[in-house]
A and B are shown apart, each in its own frame.
Chain A
């Protein structure tokens, strides 16, 4: 790694999209059928039978309302062989994804085939449904397809509850795993935080200083990768008192979250103001970072426990965030009480 390159900071995380979806009448009817271990398709005006049923005919855009029962046996039209299932795949052994045309239908459906081996798979092979042990009104009520038995009969079905309401909605949570990497600017900033230093990224063109830096000066569109060390002092630009508990947030309400302008910077960021009565917090109040003990410093803004008031005169409201970038000065690090908001309004705190 070149000497000037910051370390690559990365963090694995799982993103959950915990969707609940309404099915509408067509999909709902199909899923209700699956829950009863029945296959239901529908027939378009040209006579084509779709399973799963389509809400609208892809050719004519007409609603398809004519429902028909469909066989549990069919033919593989095409397939792929997954020799090493990934962690999301539902079958935990080699299997095929396949387009399967059920007998009496015209449009093949996507599902899986458990044939045991690739050699046992072929285009045109006959397959039959293998139902899940328990059904819920989901496409996965079909566990998979399997090579058709000699008799073409599907194994006896377990009983299903008969008096359930039709399916009108499905839970379809999705979890995707990512390994997030902080950008160069963010990585440099967080590395300094871990050393107990608050730094900003300085724009080489307009000299505005951003904290935390995100990689560019949004006003100029150039990298702001010159890191300048900042004081721990800041001014409250605005604040709110959080009075309700926020799920996942360990801090007990009520507490104060403030937009803080660190001295000699041009962009506010969010942090907690504490060490005083919440009712004393006001716009223009001077505060200072209270760092956690050194052994608790990490690559996160939480290394600063909070900002607490200091004994300095308030900054008049009209002067907060009015610092002009010192375009002709080699450094924007001159002490000044004046500050200016940047064009970047996305002030959310972003911890790697």
Chain B
């Protein structure tokens, strides 16, 4: 894989309910922002555009098609879409560049989860014969995973509360975050259980928002005269949809992907982990092979704001932004998809 440069990343403030803003109105500001930050005039200055979204979230068929109205796609552009987190739209874009079919791409992800009942909506991504007729809401499924990990001694409730406490504290310096503040572990453990063993704060907030990113070849970034972070390696692996057949206390697919991209081959300064539930950060940190020398989720991570279909791209964007700012030399970004960490992507980014 050739090196790919991340030259711009923008994120809307993450909110519980974007109210009167429709998808187009959510997307336009971030698309405008990344084009401006990259010094580009309009969408025709990039070779390819790819988005990630899911129509089930807002309950509007082909909402992703309307999203294209945010771009200014006249005359027509080369465009694609994944019904997944936009981290996979980024992956498609990188393949496109590696094929030699493009030198630059704009990626965006968005979701308006507020119109629906997200925990129920997500039950419909499950096996339609055995699972979804039982309406297993997403919190219940992840609570089962948390208990499996607790029972196995992989983590403790204190560990989970520590993840939440740190997430909210880190998010204080992230003006896009939905949830932030100072909460001690003791304070969090005093909260009642929600869907046991999870407490409400162990779960991500329901969020509306959008994010966008521009990538290009390193040569193009130099031509444009832009500072950039380099995507050195990227890999994603998927496990069986039958989560009964998986060991929920670990993340095998993450571990394989992390090995494939060489996470441990050098010091990892920062990691942004797409762990929507607190216990998952601990499982994933272990699977990624990270130790305590790595700063995990400096943005606050998904517990501080979890825009479906953008939160994975956000992890990569947050790492890239910090590398460009000089806060880190090397970072790892993780993105997930599917129930209980079924599908996982690991990206290594480095300073130029």
A and B found bound together: yes
Residues of chain A at the chain B interface (Cβ within 8 Å): 5-9, 13, 15, 17, 19, 21, 23, 27, 31, 50, 52, 54, 58, 77-83, 86, 88-90, 97-99, 107-112, 118, 123, 138-140, 170, 172, 174, 176-187, 214-223, 343-344, 346
Query: Looking at the complex, which one of A83, A99, A214, A221 makes contact with B42 (CB distance below 8 Å)?
Result: A221
Q: CB distance B133 to A140 under 8 Å?
A: yes
Judge whether B25 and A97 touch: CB under 8 Å: no
Instruction: Assess the B240–A58 pair: CB atoms within 8 A.
Output: yes
Further 13 A-B residue pairs, CB within 8 A, beyond A186-B22, A346-B66: A9-B20, A78-B148, A80-B144, A80-B146, A80-B195, A81-B195, A109-B244, A178-B59, A178-B116, A182-B22, A215-B22, A218-B69, A220-B72
**Are B20 and A179 neighbours in the complex by a CB distance under 8 Å?**
no
* Docked-complex contact B137 and A86, CB < 8 angstroms: yes
Some 26 contacts from A to B, beta carbons below 8 A apart, are A5-B20, A17-B124, A80-B139, A80-B144, A80-B195, A80-B196, A81-B196, A81-B197, A82-B137, A88-B135, A88-B137, A89-B137, A97-B140, A110-B244, A123-B151, A139-B131, A180-B59, A182-B22, A184-B22, A215-B25, A218-B69, A218-B73, A220-B72, A221-B42, A343-B74, A346-B66
Given contacts A181-B19, A184-B20, A221-B71, contact A216 B28 (CB under 8 A): yes
B315 at the interface (CB under 8 A from A): no
Cβ of A253 to closest chain B Cβ, rounded Å: 25
By beta carbon, the residue of chain B nearest A24 is: B129
Central interface residue in A89, A176, A214, A221, by most chain B CB within 10 Å: A221
Whether the pair B130, A139 counts as a contact (CB closer than 8 A) is: yes
Interface residue from A50, A83, A99, A174 paired with B132 (Cβ < 8 Å): A174
B134 within 8 A of A: yes
**A174 near B59: Cβ-Cβ < 8 Å:** no
Q: State the CA gap A326–B144 with chains docked (Å).
A: 61
Q: Choose among B23, B42, B147 the residue that contacts A80 (Cβ–Cβ < 8 A).
A: B147
Once A81-B196, A187-B20, A215-B22 are accepted as A-B contacts, the answer to whether A139 and B129 lie under 8 Å apart by CB is: yes
Complex contacts, A346 vs chain B, CB 8 Å: 65-66
- Asked if A23 meets B129 with Cβ closer than 8 Å, knowing A6-B20, A109-B244, A183-B21, the reply is yes
Q: Are A140 and B58 in contact (CB under 8 A)?
A: no
Known contacts A89-B135, A111-B134, A176-B59, A219 near B148 by CB under 8 Å: no
Q: Which of B47-71 contact A (CB under 8 A)?
A: 56, 58-60, 65-66, 68-71
- A176-B120 in contact (CB<8A): yes
Tell me the count of chain B residues lying within 8 A, CB to CB, of chain A.
Answer: 66
* B24 in the interface (beta carbon within 8 A): yes
Q: Please judge, given known A-B contacts A58-B245, A86-B137, A185-B25, whether A8 and B196 are in contact too, CB under 8 Å.
A: no
Determine if B309 is an interface residue (Cβ-Cβ < 8 Å). Answer: no
Q: Is B136 interfacial (CB 8 A cutoff)? A: yes
Residues of A within 8 A of B328 (CB): none
Are B128 and A214 neighbours in the complex by a CB distance under 8 Å? no
Question: How many whole Å from B56's CB to the nearest CB in chain A?
Answer: 8
In the complex, number of A-B residue pairs with CB atoms less than 8 Å apart: 200
B20 to A: closest C-beta gap in Å: 4
Which residues of B from 70 to 107 have beta carbons under 8 Å from A? 70-74
Cβ < 8 Å to A, chain B residues 9-57: 19-25, 28, 31-32, 42-43, 56
With A140-B133, A181-B19 known as contacts, the answer to whether A216 contacts B24 (CB < 8 A) is yes
User: B residues within 8 Å of A by Cβ?
Assistant: 19-25, 28, 31-32, 42-43, 56, 58-60, 65-66, 68-74, 114-117, 119-121, 123-124, 128-137, 139-141, 143-148, 151, 193, 195-198, 239-240, 242-245, 248
CB of B273 to closest CB in A, whole Å: 22
Give CA–CA (A79, B136) in the complex, Å. 12
* Inter-chain contact B144/A81, CB cutoff 8 Å: no
- Shortest Cβ distance from A188 into B: residue: B20
| Pair A179/B24 contact, Cβ less than 8 Å | no
Query: With A and B bound together, what is the CA distance between A118 and B182 in angstroms?
Result: 31
Taking CB as reference atom, which chain A residue is nearest B57? A178
Cα–Cα distance between A301 and B241 once the two chains are bound (Å): 45
* Nearest B-chain residue to A348, judged by Cβ: B62
Also in contact, A215 and B245, with CB within 8 A (given A78-B144, A174-B132, A177-B116): no
Which of B22, B68, B133, B144 is A99 in contact with, Cβ under 8 Å?
Answer: B144
Contact of B20 among A78, A98, A112, A182 (CB under 8 A): A182
From B24, B65, B73, A183 is in contact (CB under 8 Å) with B24
Question: Would A184 and B25 be within 8 Å (CB), given that A50-B245, A110-B244, A218-B74 are in contact?
Answer: yes
Q: Beyond A110-B131, A179-B115, is A221–B43 a contact (Cβ under 8 Å)? A: yes
Q: How near does chain B come to A102, taking the closest CB pair, in angstroms?
A: 11
Distance A15 CA – B61 CA, assembled complex (angstroms): 10
Our pick among B69, B131, B137, B147 for the contact of A123 (Cβ within 8 Å) is B147
Q: In the complex, how many angstroms separate the beta carbon of A103 from the nearest chain B beta carbon? A: 15
The reply to whether A140 and B147 contact each other, CB–CB distance below 8 Å, is no
Tell whether A13 pairs with B59 under 8 Å between CB atoms, given A183-B22, A214-B22, A346-B66.
Answer: yes
Q: Which residues of A contact B28 (CB under 8 A)?
A: 215-216, 221-223
Nearest Cβ on chain A to B124's Cβ, whole angstroms: 6
The 4 closest A-B pairs by CB, nearest first: A221-B72, A183-B22, A80-B143, A58-B240
* Distance to closest chain B CB from A96 (angstroms): 9
Note all chain B residues with C-beta closer than 8 A to A31.
129
Known A-B contacts A5-B20, A80-B147, A185-B25; A99 and B124 likewise in contact (beta carbons under 8 Å): no
